[in-house]
Chain A
Amino acid sequence: MNEEAVFQYIEQYASSEELEEKAAQPDSGIVDLPVVSLAQNPDVLIFDVRNIRILREKYGILGVLTGTLAQYPQQNFFLSVPLKLFIWEVIWLVESGKARLVDQARYRIEKARRLAEGGRIENDNRVLLSKNEKHDNSKNTQENREPNFVVTKNTDTSKKCEDFIAEYEIPLRDYLNAYIKSSSLKIEDILSRYHNFKYLKEMGFFMNPGLKFGGDLVIYPGDPLRFHSYSIVKFNMVDLQDLVVGGRLATSVKKNIIILGDEENSSNDLNDNIEACLNRPPQKVAFSIEWAGFG
């Protein structure tokens, strides 16, 4: 795989000025990651397409689309916002200073309260949609200019309120504690898996969750919209049978399987706090395996 090309191509978009202009927070450049509910649903869901774009093109973070696509609401092939980020993506973005976590429920309720208090409720949820856009400019009568559709927006992008979102920032430590509480994984497993993700991320791969192909991650040499994946990553192999199962499965979907783990004696000292451990990656070793179907 041509790593340099991947880097070049990520950098190309990172430097694109057009992208900077479209950034949601042009001053800080830090992406807001809305956490739905810290106590019950510590998931990060992104609704702002500008942020989805920045994450994808600038940072190579894909996430998974989970919402109904309103244009075609009875199918599951093409989905829409929210974009759900998985835990390793969230930690990586926040830890490297590219994003911050926001307590969305509390922030939005406060924002609504301030709006109502100031008496500044102006709903712009009506739009004009013409059936035939070709005739849009030429044959519009007065009547047709009235809005005819009522809509629900992805997110609120207006600047009706002064910016106070920073008050609702969640420190990474709090977020991790909430995640650990709801997870059955041990802290050392979470750290080890995160470092696996980070190791591959820093090599320039694009990553998706691996359950579709029976692994922990699926990695792509570039944006999966354009490029095939040829590797499934697995973090743990228990025995030889796992090895064969993984190899056969991966080969049947034209991929190879990569086993990734820590070099011996290089794992973290767990007496330190979590944030310190996140910064100290252990040495990683990886092997790729293909099932040798003789004959």
Chain B
Amino acid sequence: MADEVDEAAIVKDEANFDVEDEVQDWKFLNKSLASSGIPKRGEKEFAPDGTQVQNSSLQESRNAMYDALEGVRGHHLKSKLIAVWIASESKCIMPHARGNYFRDMGIPIHIGSKVKDGVELNSLEAVYLVERGSVVIYLGNESYDEFLKSSQESEFDYDSLIAMDLEFLYSVAFNNTGYSLDQYQIYSYLKRLGYLVQDFKQITKTDQRTRLPMVPSTLSVIPSFLNKIMATTVVKYLQSRLRQWGFLSYPLFHSLHFMTKHYFRYTDIYKSLRLIPAYSTHDSVKENLEASGYSITFNVWKPTPSFSKKNPPFPDFQVAVANTDSAKFPTLQTIQALHNSLNYTFPNERKTQVVPAVRQQKKNTMPPSKKVIRQKKQQERQSKLDESVRKKNDYNRKRDNLLKYGSNGRTVVIAVIDSGILNFVNLSEGDFSLQSSTDLEDIFPREDHGIIYNEK
């Protein structure tokens, strides 16, 4: 049945290769971006040999780079977009916001009769827009403050303010504003790729713990009254210390300490060996956990034309920024705490998706893609199989997916920065016990869908 497993397709080397990993040859900048979009890898050499040819071609690449860095950052005077940095409040005001940039950026503001279509930008948004040349920014002063407050004057001469260069803007935007350069690097990376990005906030009114529906608890190795003692902070602290020193390899009140140690079944032995009890979906929501050193920084959406800043949909990704210099390796507790603070709806809260009225589909004149052909073939092959075998295949596929990605779909992206180099890691919650999965229940009703060995 091996040919039915699509995921097993071997990933080819070229597909794994990431162009961003290579040091780019700036000579290709103008040629490649104008034409195809993806720069080619430059021809490189292995060691300096001191020849003139080598030196001059290196200098050519360098000069191309310097020229690009000195390139013009700006926009046409006709569509001039002005922002003012208000130093006293560490924020940026744009009196007249025009253009496509404000679908996800800025908070609308009204100041008197003058500023009606204005927005207030935070440090990240202001720096991003100025850096890409879409906005020019001036440093506000007292007379600008007065202009905003007064009701008479309607025009302001922005040339009486200092036009800030990029270096100046960076030094005020990331100095005591609560925003870090690491956050900005992740923010601008995602924005350049076209994602919609906002500061992380809860979209639902209450957090996950208060909305948690009643679900049957999993079998626990720890009796409930002991559980309460375990939850006290003193015990938790002691336990973590003891574990650090290697004295206590399994939990303090683990049944292994009290029970007689005669085993008649393998399951018991395995159970007694496990350090982290397998927990089922949403079990970690019940605990009040703390994410030390980590917090979710951004809500991120794939670009969609119907995005509303006022009523944003649930984010496609939720990103926590961490620096290799300062952040420690995340503990299980930290990861669970991050999952608990996510924007997340429980299955019972999810409305059935309203299927939009079927639009007249344009007739597709393109030949079907390889993927479509493969899917079609697989469907044909499946339909020839016996009913029971098909059911079994379906069950296994669904269960594999649940084991792999967890049955609740809670996922946090950790953006790791090391001296300016970015990496994105996806952390989902796996579930090996699969106790309350209606999807699987529909196909094969049974007590336990998990992969934990249960001897009967």
Binding site for B on A (CB under 8 A): 1-2, 5-6, 8-9, 12, 34, 36-37, 39-41, 43, 45, 47-49, 52-53, 56-57, 63-78, 80-82, 84, 86-87, 104-105, 108-109, 112, 115-116, 121, 123, 125-127, 129, 147-156, 182-185, 208-213, 221-228, 230
Q: A154 and B45: CB pair below 8 A?
A: no
Q: Is the Cβ of B325 less than 8 Å from the Cβ of A226?
A: no
Which residues of B (303-332) have their CB < 8 Å from a CB of A? 324-328
User: In the bound complex, do residue B69 and residue A73 qualify as a contact, i.e. CB atoms below 8 Å apart?
Assistant: no
Given known contacts A64-B419, A105-B172, A211-B324, A155 and B166 CB-to-CB distance under 8 angstroms:
yes
Residues from chain A with Cβ under 8 Å of B49 in the complex:
2, 5
Q: Is the CB of B133 within 8 A of A73?
A: yes
Indicate which residue in A1, A8, A153, A209 contacts B165 across the interface (CB closer than 8 Å).
A153
What interface size band does chain B fall in? 35 or more
A78 touches B33 (CB 8 A): yes
**Shortest CB distance B126–A (Å):** 11
- Please provide the 4 A-B residue pairs with the shortest distance between their CB atoms, ordered closest to farther: A151-B74, A64-B420, A86-B419, A70-B133
CA distance A151 to B116 in the complex (A): 25
A75 touches B72 (CB 8 A): no
Contacts of B48-80 to chain A: CB distance below 8 A:
48-50, 54-55, 57-58, 61-62, 65-66, 68-78, 80
Cβ A148 vs Cβ B77 within 8 A:
yes
Are B132 and A182 within 8 A (Cβ)? Answer: no
A203 to B85 CA separation, bound complex (whole angstroms): 46
Whether B47 pairs with A121 at a CB distance below 8 angstroms is no
Whether the pair B74, A67 counts as a contact (CB closer than 8 A) is no
| Known contacts A9-B48, A40-B180, A64-B419, A76 near B189 by CB under 8 Å | yes
The answer to whether A221 touches B68, judged by C-beta atoms less than 8 angstroms apart, is no
A76 vs B185: C-alpha distance when bound (angstroms): 11
Contact between A150 and B175, CB atoms less than 8 A apart: no
Given A45-B170, A67-B188, A150-B76, 12 more contacts at CB 8 Å? A6-B48, A68-B131, A74-B193, A77-B20, A78-B68, A109-B87, A149-B77, A152-B74, A153-B73, A154-B165, A155-B166, A184-B328
Across the interface, which residues of A come within 8 angstroms of B193, CB to CB? Answer: 74, 76
Contacts of B326 in A (CB 8 A): 182-184
Interfacial residues, chain B to chain A (CB-CB below 8 A)? 19-21, 23-26, 29, 33, 37-39, 44-50, 54-55, 57-58, 61-62, 65-66, 68-78, 80, 87, 128, 130-134, 136-137, 139, 141, 159-172, 174-176, 180-181, 185, 188-189, 192-194, 324-328, 416, 418-421, 423
**Contact A37 to B421, CB < 8 A, known contacts A70-B74, A151-B74, A152-B73:** no
Q: Which of A37, A78, A123 contacts B176 (CB 8 A)?
A: A37
Flag if B73 contacts A230 (CB, 8 Å). Answer: no
Query: A265 to B288, alpha carbons, bound, how many Å?
Result: 47
A149, B162: Cβ atoms closer than 8 Å? no
Contact present for B166 and A47 (CB under 8 Å) = yes
Q: Which of A52, A71, A116, A228 contacts B71 (CB 8 A)?
A: A71
- Are B23 and A43 closer than 8 Å at their CB atoms? no
Q: Chain B residues near A152 (CB, 8 Å)?
A: 73-74, 130-131, 133, 136-137, 163-166, 169
Contact yes or no, B419 A5, CB < 8 A:
no
Output the least CB separation between B43 and chain A (Å).
9
With A78-B29, A155-B165, A183-B325 known as contacts, the answer to whether A8 contacts B419 (CB < 8 A) is: no
Task: Name the distance in Å between B150's Cβ and chain A's nearest Cβ.
Answer: 20
- Which residue of A9, A34, A57, A230 is within 8 Å of B50 (Cβ)? A9
21 contacts between A and B (CB under 8 A): A6-B48, A36-B174, A37-B171, A39-B176, A49-B66, A52-B69, A70-B131, A72-B29, A74-B194, A84-B419, A87-B419, A121-B159, A149-B74, A154-B73, A155-B166, A210-B418, A211-B416, A225-B62, A227-B45, A227-B47, A228-B45
